[in-house]
């Protein structure tokens, strides 16, 4: 499970750099990026929850991520509509993911030794702040969408890699 989380974390971070270097293409194809993110994030999260036998709010959020990805991909015209609404969807997604990272950081702090939880907490707070700023300034988000999505992908990848260390702590 540790290697699986690290590999997906690295792949998501690489996708993040791709988004940063091609922001216009990222915005134009954002619906597909969202579907990929939802599937990967949901799948890795479900596998992590099942392997750790923890079925809390993050497990429910992972299932909802996969369901939302399927709905966007299958319903005709929804991807086009999603591209238009994606600005607000991503803003709220940033906030929600940030809150979940904050909860995971405090859970990680209680269970493990070391300061790895601080990194998860910092990334969670950053996600909430980016989400709030994006809701307040949606046009700025539209102009910088590719960069923000890239930063989010990099943050998610780093978070998965950090959480892999948390998984290792459970096995010892």
Q: Are 61 and 100 in contact (CB under 8 A)?
A: yes
Phi first, then psi, for residue 23 (nearest 5°) are -65, -35
**pLDDT at residue 169 above 60?**
no
* pLDDT 10s digits, 46-97: 988 888 888 888 888 889 989 988 888 888 677 767 766 777 877 888 899 8
Distance separating alpha carbons of residues 18 and 149, to the nearest angstrom: 10
At residue 17, the pLDDT reads 92
At residue 10, the pLDDT reads 92
19: enclosing H helix or E strand: helix 2-21
**pLDDT at residue 128 above 80?**
yes
At residue 167, the pLDDT reads 66
Distance separating alpha carbons of residues 67 and 119, to the nearest angstrom: 29
Q: How many residues does the chain have?
A: 172
Rounded to the nearest 5 degrees, what angle is found at the Cα of 159, between the Cα atoms of 96 and 122?
Answer: 70
């Amino acid at each position: 499970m540790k290697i699986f989380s690290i590999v997906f974390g690295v792949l998501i971070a690489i996708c993040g750099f791709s988004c940063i270097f091609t922001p216009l293409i990222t915005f134009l194809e954002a619906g597909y990026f969202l579907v990929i993110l939802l599937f990967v994030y949901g799948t890795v999260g479900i596998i992590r929850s099942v392997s750790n036998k923890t079925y809390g709010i993050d497990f429910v959020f992972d299932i909802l991520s996969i369901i939302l990805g399927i709905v966007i991909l299958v319903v005709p015209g929804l991807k086009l509509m999603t591209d238009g609404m994606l600005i607000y969807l991503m803003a709220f997604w940033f906030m929600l993911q940030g809150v979940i990272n904050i909860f995971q950081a405090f859970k990680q702090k209680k269970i493990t030794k070391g300061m790895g939880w601080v990194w998860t907490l910092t990334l969670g707070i950053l996600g909430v702040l980016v989400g709030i700023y994006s809701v307040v300034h949606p046009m700025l988000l539209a102009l910088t969408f590719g960069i923000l999505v890239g930063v989010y992908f990099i943050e998610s990848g780093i978070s998965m890699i950090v959480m892999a260390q948390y998984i290792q702590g459970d096995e010892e």
